[in-house]
A = this chain, B = another copy of it.
Amino acid sequence: MKKHLLLILACGSFQFSFAQTKDSVDIRRIANEILSNSKAYDDLRVLTKTIGARLAGSQGMVKAEKWGVNALKAAGADSVYLQECMVPHWIRGTKEQARIISNRRDMVAPLNIAALGNSVGTGAKGVTAPVIEVKSFEELDQRAVEVKGKIVFYNYPFIDTHVKTFNSYGDAVKYRGQGASRAAKYGAVAVVVRSMTHSTDNHPHTGSVNYAEDAPKIPAVAIGLKDADRFSKRIANDPSMKLALHTNCQKLPDTIGHNVIGIIRGSEFPNEYITVGGHLDSWDLAEGAHDDGAGCVQSIEVLRAYKALGIRPKRTLRVVLFANEENGARGAAKYADEAKAKNEQHVFALESDAGGFTPRGFMLEMEPAKRAKIISWKPLLLPYGLYDFDEAGGGVDVGFLHRAIGTPMGELSPDSQRYFDVHHAASDVFEAVNKRELELGAVAMAALLYLVDQHGL
């Protein structure tokens, strides 16, 4: 009896170690293929340099969708199709301007501003008003009586001491999202927001403003860190100063956009889906290289590498280039709605939308048993620099699927130190992406998806 048990145990252990070895060999093949023959970097060059900005509703969006179809076909997808959705159509209009008006003649350099996404414009006459600087919502509330008729300047700094910069972003972003409406309730006429960044340059960083239903919509702009510090001193030293803002943003009628989807049909469970994707749109003032051209080309690269290696997944792999993440996430909503309506069976959904930097692991959100299964694969992933699986979360786009039908989700966790230097700013360009870092992200994604496909969740 004992002997049999030992034999069974030995066989089990042999099988396990054989599976581990096969997985490890297959992942090594995938990594070698991507590090040697990846098209991700060249794909990104074309997307960023020949198309560039591609906000929902823009011509860039339309061109990017065509690019996506072609790139997925070139990567060898079994089929490629578009999933239509209505997307918002916000435009910046002619370049916004901010001018300091003062009796003093010194320090009259204009501020370099960027309207926040979805912001209303100032109208042709602009908005000219004195400025009140606050460091927090608490200070805003305390000084509520001073706010009426003024421009509120939220000068809340990014926290330096978080090691993971997404924590600083999570902490500060409320001033961008809610700042306008909270100030408008006290009678403010516009807001200026210190950019959500650690950068050492002066680029303003845009991003969506979210207007509350119960407050007037007032214009909202961002300024870079050097201007923010300069402006803060100016406010303190020059009580006569006013700020003149001219922004020309408009919200046009919703228009048609598309998720671009390429698939490899599953060999054993074609009706079980594994989704991997990034978002195809980008803010209008940048090339959208890290955010999120990187996630798109990495997702396409997963498919290309599988095809090049003759890996046929058991489940159907769907590469989804989501529409309109930046100012609406209508693409993700559509994808999730349709999955629910069709009662699709989704095994896992993985996103890359945290930059094309050197990968360190994955954020995961799913039942504990499924998470434990992924964690058990850590030894297979560690040789690729992937050690961090502790954080809960997934990306914005796969989050819709997670909430709609409970799909286990994850997001690639690249090193975050450089991300907010370029996030939503004109500095988010192809040159800021390193070829090998981008490719290692694709290796990480392809490896995890391979394991999920082979072993289920």
Binding site for B on A (CB under 8 A): 31-32, 35-36, 41, 160-161, 163, 165, 198, 200, 358, 360, 383-385, 387-388, 415, 417-418, 421, 434-437, 440
With both beta carbons as reference points, the residue of chain B lying nearest to A198 in the complex is identified as: B436
A243 to chain B, nearest CB (A): 29
Assembled-state Cα–Cα distance A384/B358 (Å): 16
Contact partners of A383 in chain B: CB under 8 A = 163
Which residues on the B side are within 8 Å of A385 (C-beta)?
163, 360, 388, 415
The answer to whether A160 and B358 have CB atoms under 8 Å apart is no
Name A387's closest neighbour in chain B (CB-CB): B387
List 19 additional contacts besides A36-B161, A385-B388, A387-B387; criterion CB under 8 Å. A31-B161, A31-B163, A32-B161, A35-B160, A35-B163, A163-B383, A163-B384, A163-B385, A163-B440, A165-B436, A198-B436, A200-B435, A358-B358, A358-B415, A358-B417, A387-B388, A417-B437, A418-B436, A421-B434
Which residue of chain B has its CB nearest to the CB of A385?
Answer: B163
Evaluate contact between A160 and B417: CB separation under 8 angstroms: no
Using A163-B383, A383-B163 as known contacts, say yes or no to A418 and B434 having CB atoms under 8 A apart.
Answer: yes
CA distance A415 to B441 in the complex (A): 14
| 30 contacts across the A-B interface (CB closer than 8 A) | A31-B161, A31-B163, A32-B161, A35-B160, A35-B161, A35-B163, A36-B161, A41-B200, A163-B383, A163-B385, A163-B440, A165-B436, A198-B435, A198-B436, A200-B435, A358-B358, A358-B415, A358-B417, A385-B388, A385-B415, A387-B387, A387-B388, A415-B415, A417-B434, A417-B436, A417-B437, A417-B440, A418-B436, A418-B437, A421-B434
A363 CB → nearest B CB, Å: 15
Give the complex CA separation of A421 and B436 in angstroms.
Answer: 10
Alpha-carbon gap, A337 to B134, bound state (A): 59
Residues of B within 8 A of A161 (CB): 31-32, 35-36
Query: Is the CB–CB distance between B160 and A36 below 8 Å?
Result: yes
> Who on chain B is nearest to A390 by CB?
B382
For A35, what are the chain B residues with a Cβ–Cβ distance below 8 Å?
160-161, 163
